[in-house]
Structure 1
């Protein structure tokens, strides 16, 4: 049995090794922050080395089937903790003479509290699965395990059954089924925060295992790179979350948590194939043959003594439903985690992924009549290689939990266009590191979390006219306190950002509270700041696609904002079916919102009239201030009624998105300098750049979103039905519906008008559990073969029939 003295000495060695090697080249502010941490941990270690009397608790944690639970968090009052080992066992040295409270938490299980003697040995603790939807554990809302019912912000948890049963080959597709969330051209929206703005960085931070998973140069989400075959759950945090997660979390967070190995080895192979139906209109059909997509997933995870090992492989070939398009990819990933046998609570590992893709695509259609054919038959061929390496470590030093997370992300795009004079090749490095220190307060009164996040981005690409770098440093702190039926959360973060030597900084705050009105009723309120600095692509991209030009804007400023909401979460139970209903009112405001705008951004060369078109194009601009208010409602349930298992995920979102500065001139283009120019020529306001000049409604926003997915199962069979509705977006860029773009890319107004009542899309699925190891899924996506245009000159997929066979051992 290890004593307090032994534990503390080993913890000191671990701490000093990591700090001296991992952070030896850190910046001044980083070193200052770490010096504070070192002093604090020395005080705690000194206390351990000089403890008067040592006791220890030991025991084992298992589930209801008597299987050991590895990695469960175990702590006692006031400040001591560890995690269970490969056999579910734990030992906690301490120096308290009286009985202590033992607290255990584990993702997917209900939290457990037990009063024990200070010297108790071989305690057997059985955890129950989180059968109640209200007892589900979420991490993203506060960077620690907490029950969803006590979270102070709107949070949704999505389990992996939906991903598997809908035959998901790209995470972008499943996001469109989530309440209040929609993805347009790869850009995630939560409660209408983004609309569509081609090339703009993401206002929703997408993370994989608590770290950003966006490219360094463009801050774009690589949906294909996310591992659909190995997901534990999705966590969606709605509203400004920059205090916890920094830039790009202006509109919310989507955190994808990968599954950890279970007590028994798991082996899974999935093979799928699909065929696109004929296009709805004869005039738009470009092929007499049906296009196909097919692929496979392989997944294996196991525990080898103290090592957790997960390996995954994915392959896809999609022949595409639009003329000239295709998509081929291969993706491999490996996750490791090792629990040190000599130092209690120390675990470390390395995760790595690599993906190679070869795809052809186009940006704009030929016309409404030929909506699935590229403009002037121009397509872009992209060969992409992307890889990530993620070292990580966790350890305890006398009641303080330390976490080190890091990610190296490399993205390489080899772009071939029809015009050999246009070089769109680009590549970037993104290096992210985060050191987090966490303290659990006595008697489960709460958690104090502090940390420092740093990122460095570099890109040397023709697309951005050379080398550009950006750096971000952000210390943060958050306190989550529980008192009787109240939960309080507050935090602050200081962002320091620089790009190409230009530096800016901002301090942001958040606060929230939750009140347990009854056993199943929880009221909440929250307020938080948001902040997003521009990406390298937004400031420096310079390219063209046919007649469409894109210009840089090095003066682009950062976006800021805030979000406030009040909500209620009500649990319910009907027979053995239980869940919760959640309703929230939210109010969000943005300053210096960024959007793409068309104009004459280059002076005309009258000596070369053939080059006139090169003066016109799109660029990123700060278009003013905006406000989005609305109501978000969700109903989630699981369980059984009689002998029929039922799972449901239903949501409705109403938003009122408006510009607060619709008539403010936010830029004047080069046409104002032409001889004989009118007094207001070339002046851009939000109102005069929109297709609907009678309103101040934000562009590409849906006032109404409705999502529902219901799945019923009986014995070996299950049937599921999904529905998605979005109302007509009232406002778009005026340039797409007026000359000259109207003539160059015809039919955009026709495409909008055809669905003025909105879009209804439905999917249906049936699955059969053939044996304990074999499962067959059949899916029809876009059941009615509905034509949907989510942004100008881009049609979404027609009806798709899918078949999937899954083998599990």
Structure 2
């Protein structure tokens, strides 16, 4: 009996020992000063607390043995320590955090074509990380930009839902899209190429507002968006992100990396999006959202070589099949005049790379091919475009000068079945050669003053010589909490209407050219002020204000007003202006709350023969926000994102058109909840377009003559103008160009992420 009792005592005592815990006490400081509201957690355990006014913390019931303690505070670096927890009280040595400013130390390349910290860049560059876009998951880069201040995804067609990106009110062709610094998405692909970039491979996006033609040449007139992809070295071993919506959309991103030997690494990503659920909630017998089936494959290779040389090569292939139109449309009606539909088959490949020849020489290259087979009702649009680009740069630091020089060459082949390539009674494909050179000198006058001078010369084989200078100045305070930038420069753009303006393709209006279109030129000046505040209890506030003014000469503006059956293109006999102010406010609190607010006021207009006219599809004001709060113990994050847009002028078909000339003030708002289970799994879900905002709520109809898309019942007079009658009281013709936002209303979504680091 006594042996049994002894065994039970030993067993019970062992259980007590196994169930014992200890407590941890300590102090968190920076430079010897206590830090209040610092977060202290035991990794992999559901234990955490925050420090008091003296920087002290207490963690109770900590399991015995070695534990990893993580300490963090907004505005300071994260610190991780390992401690041995024993029964009773355990005192941890003081934990020192180092103050940092991530936004200042972020490395950017878009403003100067060299890797520099955001603080040191004379050109203001806005940076958006992959985490920022995860607060509002979308199936494409195009949709993701809806929460970036001053940047608006513009839907250009009520039927096929293609779009482009507006920066500060300027149309999509004025925005250059780069991937890893290479001009990949341009020309024909501006309309369709923003879809299919696997977001799992995106490291960050850099946005430069205002002309950047000095470094990047044509099309960088309104600004540029540089999509920086992850490197095989830093990317996770495998990641998957998939979500679906209650409308029936399914989006999947897969990415993984592998190595071949010690010096060769590769990154592979796949994006797949599918939507095959035709809906007509505005009851016009047309699909509210274009049906799509899209796949994109991305592959990137990094090769390390001797003497510090490095080669990075990437490629992407995309195929997309999309259609929109009358609800009873199917492929048997493609190209006919019985049932209206817009069907687009797109095939595209890209390759681009960067070869670091030495510490001073660098060679960048890209090539892309784009094939498009489209029909808009009974109007076919068949087009093919090839673009080849190479650029050799040389850089050197000499005393206070940081020099960058480059030679560039760009060849563009374009062919289609429109008047754009028709001359002398036959089809003639376009061949454009664009050699150029540029020089940039960044002069550090002192530790607080920097001036950058740049100039570029290009020779366009069609339009001749093009010269683009610019100047930038930067001043920063001694503690680097205040930065002021002033810049000015010239931009240019050679337009191709059929590759840039979807309205020219639909066949709903006749396209008329009054003259041979000349290159557009612009002069821009902008002033930027950044002020950072480190407040009490770990609160961080960043204010970023910009005033901008851009003046255009030879601007090409489509004329929808003169004749409702035509789109008339000509160079503006006058000038156009885009001016305004914008403000971003970024705040982070120790409690886990993060707030990003942005607003822009702008006036975009053109003046001809003394008459000022507001530009079509340009809003007066815009606002964006992203608010996130993390419940650290529960590992739950709540995100609330949205935008607000002011009225914009829309194309009407005549004085009798009953639709409002201006869009209303409208807002798209979204909410999302994310639950993290560990370092590998996340589940997220929420609601998009909480207010159920759609254009159909503010107009009697969106698509003019949706009941007669081929104008078979329209009566025209001798001048080709429609005649009002009983069946057509407003004297309209079929036209889907009255559009300013997606017809997609409120919807729920649910997704999952899996990551192996």
**3-state DSSP of counterpart to 1:594:** coil
**3-state DSSP of counterpart to 2:199:** coil
Distance of aligned partners of 1:708 and 1:569 in 2 relative to their CA distance in 1, 3 Å threshold: same
Structure 2 stretches lacking a partner, 5+ long:
1-75, 78-96, 156-162, 281-285, 329-336, 697-701, 703-736
Q: 2:511 & 2:179 partners in 1: Cα distance?
A: 31
TM-superposed deviation, 1:132: 3.0
TM-superposed deviation, 1:377: 5.4
Distance of aligned partners of 1:551 and 1:128 in 2 relative to their CA distance in 1, 3 Å threshold: farther
Residue 284 of structure 2 corresponds to residue 314 of structure 1: no
- Quick one: which of 748, 772, 777 aligns to 2:659? 748
Q: 2:298 & 2:99 partners in 1: Cα distance?
A: 29
Task: Name 2:233's counterpart in structure 1.
Answer: 262
- Quick one: which of 159, 165, 188 aligns to 1:188? 165
Distance of aligned partners of 1:762 and 1:457 in 2 relative to their CA distance in 1, 3 Å threshold: same
Task: Name 1:160's counterpart in structure 2.
Answer: 130
Q: 2:271 & 2:485 partners in 1: Cα distance?
A: 41
Residue-by-residue CA offset, 1:548-576 (whole Å, 9 max, x unaligned): 22345660111111111222111122333
Q: 2:222 & 2:395 partners in 1: Cα distance?
A: 26
Q: 1:260 & 1:776 partners in 2: Cα distance?
A: 26
Distance of aligned partners of 1:525 and 1:131 in 2 relative to their CA distance in 1, 3 Å threshold: closer
CA contact (8 A) 2:498 2:505 kept: no
CA contact (8 A) 1:267 1:300 kept: yes
Task: Name 2:522's counterpart in structure 1.
Answer: 561
Residue-by-residue CA offset, 1:474-516 (whole Å, 9 max, x unaligned): 2011111222211111100012112xxx332121111011111
TM-superposed deviation, 1:229: 1.7
- Quick one: which of 581, 604, 617 aligns to 2:566? 617
- Quick one: which of 433, 456, 460 aligns to 1:493? 456
CA contact (8 A) 1:736 1:748 kept: no
Q: 1:129 & 1:213 partners in 2: Cα distance?
A: 39
Q: 1:426 & 1:264 partners in 2: Cα distance?
A: 36
Task: Name 2:605's counterpart in structure 1.
Answer: 658
Q: 2:363 & 2:269 partners in 1: Cα distance?
A: 24
Residue-by-residue CA offset, 1:112-160 (whole Å, 9 max, x unaligned): xxxxxxxxxxxxxxx9996432222211011112222233333211010
Distance of aligned partners of 1:481 and 1:590 in 2 relative to their CA distance in 1, 3 Å threshold: same
Residue 199 of structure 2 corresponds to residue 228 of structure 1: yes
Residue-by-residue CA offset, 1:428-462 (whole Å, 9 max, x unaligned): 111111111111345xx452111122111112322
TM-superposed deviation, 1:264: 7.8
**3-state DSSP of counterpart to 1:161:** helix
TM-superposed deviation, 1:385: 0.7
**3-state DSSP of counterpart to 2:249:** strand
TM-score normalised per structure 1? 0.68
CA contact (8 A) 1:542 1:552 kept: no
Q: 1:506 & 1:257 partners in 2: Cα distance?
A: 29
Q: 2:300 & 2:514 partners in 1: Cα distance?
A: 40
- Quick one: which of 133, 142, 147 aligns to 1:172? 142
Residue 270 of structure 2 corresponds to residue 293 of structure 1: no
- Quick one: which of 716, 722, 734 aligns to 2:641? 722
Distance of aligned partners of 1:216 and 1:430 in 2 relative to their CA distance in 1, 3 Å threshold: farther
Q: 1:321 & 1:441 partners in 2: Cα distance?
A: 63
Distance of aligned partners of 1:793 and 1:144 in 2 relative to their CA distance in 1, 3 Å threshold: closer
Q: How many corresponding residue pairs?
A: 585
TM-superposed deviation, 1:521: 0.8
- Quick one: which of 554, 574, 595 aligns to 1:592? 554
Residue 595 of structure 2 corresponds to residue 648 of structure 1: yes
Residue 360 of structure 2 corresponds to residue 414 of structure 1: no
CA contact (8 A) 1:262 1:302 kept: no
TM-superposed deviation, 1:333: 0.8
CA contact (8 A) 1:134 1:571 kept: no
- Quick one: which of 460, 467, 475 aligns to 2:437? 475
Task: Name 2:387's counterpart in structure 1.
Answer: 430
Task: Name 2:533's counterpart in structure 1.
Answer: 572
TM-superposed deviation, 1:176: 1.6
**3-state DSSP of counterpart to 1:493:** strand
CA contact (8 A) 2:123 2:485 kept: yes
Residue-by-residue CA offset, 1:593-615 (whole Å, 9 max, x unaligned): 112124789xxxxxxxxxxx9xx
CA contact (8 A) 1:236 1:255 kept: yes
Structure 1 stretches lacking a partner, 5+ long:
1-108, 111-126, 195-200, 277-291, 367-374, 602-612, 665-686, 688-694
Q: 1:534 & 1:359 partners in 2: Cα distance?
A: 26
Query: Rg bigger for which structure?
Result: 2
CA contact (8 A) 1:302 1:308 kept: yes
- Quick one: which of 375, 384, 406 aligns to 1:451? 406
Supply the RMSD in Å over aligned alpha carbons.
Answer: 3.0
Q: 1:204 & 1:544 partners in 2: Cα distance?
A: 20
CA contact (8 A) 2:463 2:519 kept: no
TM-score normalised per structure 2? 0.72
